[in-house]
Amino acid sequence: MTLWLYDIDGTILSTGGAGRSALNEAFEALYGVPQAFARVSFAGRTDPGIIADAFQLAEMEPRPHGELIEAYLPRLERRLGQGTTVVHPGVHAALDATHPMGVNALLTGNMEAGAQRKLADVGLWDRFALGAYGDDSPFRNDLVPVAETRARQAGRQFSRTVVIGDTPADVACARAGGAIAVAVLTGWSSREALEASEPDLLLEDLESGLDALLGL
């Protein structure tokens, strides 16, 4: 049995920039700085790390991220409501196929509340038994043990862990947690960058790569 840890942005879905736009709006509303996240890299990051970068680039002292997240969430919901989110090819079939082979769970840099809103927008939140989130650590490499501990505490049995993501940071996270690393080319990272990160399996997407995923 396998603990399947799916990343969200770039792996399961893409929101068309809804998260970045909502964070920009929230930051400007609270602190008067426009486009605070324009120069911040989001790929493979956690929300706390992304927010820390925005404060640094704005030359501001860091604030507790709770107030920004509180302002961000309704703006995210409004942006998601514009219908720009796309579920990547093969995601539904992959979730159907991996579910009887273990536990479908999340490993994402999103705060849990943001993850829930993104996935609920496309009817996928209830497909995951548990998760590890940006709430748990600002460092993505900490998250595999968090997810494994939650699964064991929930009485879930598994003998290995597979991380499925779209960036070299996802591969590094899997390596740090002693997990199998699967990378998909549906996000923002180039083939060259993902190949250089040396995942155990590199897929065009979860549709064409489903048999290879299940054969790991």
In this structure, how many other beta carbons lie within 10 angstroms of the beta carbon of residue 157? 10
Structure confidence by residue, pLDDT tens digits, 57-92: 999 998 888 899 999 999 999 999 998 999 999 999
pLDDT of residue 44 exceeding 90: no
Is residue 33 over pLDDT 90?
Answer: yes
- Per the model's pLDDT, the better-predicted residue between 83 and 26 turns out to be 26
Q: What is the pLDDT of residue 65?
A: 86
Assigned token pair, 214 = 């299940």
In the structure, how many helices (H) and strands (E) does the chain have?
A: 9, 8
Q: Tell me, what's the pLDDT at 202? A: 98
Three-class secondary structure of residue 144 per DSSP: helix
Q: What is the model's pLDDT at position 43? A: 87
Outline where DSSP puts E strands in the chain. Answer: 2-6, 13-14, 86-87, 102-107, 130-132, 160-165, 180-184, 201-203
Bridge partners (DSSP) of residue 86 are 14
**8-22 mean pLDDT:** 96
Does residue 134 register a pLDDT over 90?
A: yes
Does 183 have pLDDT greater than 90?
yes
Predicted TM-score of the model (pTM): 0.95
Which tens digits make up the pLDDT trace of 86-104? Answer: 999 999 999 999 999 999 9
What is the residue whose two structure tokens read 């090819």? 89
Residue 182 has pLDDT above 90, yes or no: yes
Q: What are the boundaries of each domain within the chain?
A: 2-15+85-214, 18-80
pLDDT at position 206, please?
98
Phi, psi torsion values for 136, nearest 5 degrees = -80, -30
Res 161 pLDDT > 90: yes
CATH superfamily of 2-15+85-214: HAD superfamily/HAD-like (3.40.50.1000)
Q: Is the pLDDT of residue 209 over 90?
A: yes
- Residue 81 sits at φ, ψ, to 5 deg, of -65, -10
